[in-house]
A and B are shown apart, each in its own frame.
With several copies, the nearest count.
Chain A
Amino acid sequence: MARLVFLGRLADLAGGAEREVAPGPLAAILSGLEHDLVQALTGARIRVALNGALVARDGLVLKPGDELAFLPPVSGG
């Protein structure tokens, strides 16, 4: 399995901070999620990190054990 991690308000939308998903292309994984969550995860200001490194999301394929985090704009300090 692979893991999706949702930060900030995305965790509220997802109903939890993490979700286990079957490995595979990101596009296929997203197609299995709720419509409003997919809309939020693919917003222009959402960045993604694969195993702790920021990456572009185009053409991403998750392997078993991968962790993909969805990062909304920060609001720190």
Chain B
Amino acid sequence: MIEVRLIEMAFDAAGAMRDFAAAHPQSGGVVSFLGQVRVDSAQQGADVEALELQHYAPLTLPGMQALAQDVLGRWALDGLLIWHRVGEMAPGDPIVLVVAASRHRRDAFAAADFAMDHLKSESWFWKREKRGGQWAWVEPREQDYADLARWGQTQA
């Protein structure tokens, strides 16, 4: 089962994980990654008051669906869920949830890890943060490119 969604509103990550695990009783291992809005930013300065993710409809969801197919081609998964927020979020809100279910745990770990590295560095999202009442766009992180390089690929 593949489930890829762009989501406009806050969502219940734990509930999604529960439903997904229950839908895959043949899977011994279910690995999930939850990314949530941190109140303190990696950049210096004031705390983050809000975060906004912009997407471009003709590219973003199709790109996520292609990523899911790529992941399924690389590991023996029973199911893969990729949910990603867009729009404005508050600290603590979930941003991204990836859940991989597989018979053996190595596959699920690698699949979730790979999916996250590619979502962070290759998916069509643009992020800005609000601090002290001011919005500022976030530049790509070099670390994200380094994470991607672990999989032997260069950025598309």
Contacts and interface: CB of A to CB of B under 8 A. Distances in A.
Given A7-B54, A8-B137, A75 B59 contact: no
Nearest to A11: B54
Contacts of B139: 73, 75
A71 to B, nearest CB: 7
Interface residues of A, number: 18
A75 B56 contact: no
B116 A77 contact: yes
A9 B124 contact: no
A30 to B, nearest CB: 20
A52 B58 contact: yes
Contact of B123 (A52, A72, A74): A74
Contacts of A54: 59
Interface string A57-77: 000000000010101111111
A54 B156 CA distance: 11
Interface of B: 35, 53-54, 56, 58-59, 62, 84, 95-96, 116, 119-128, 137-141
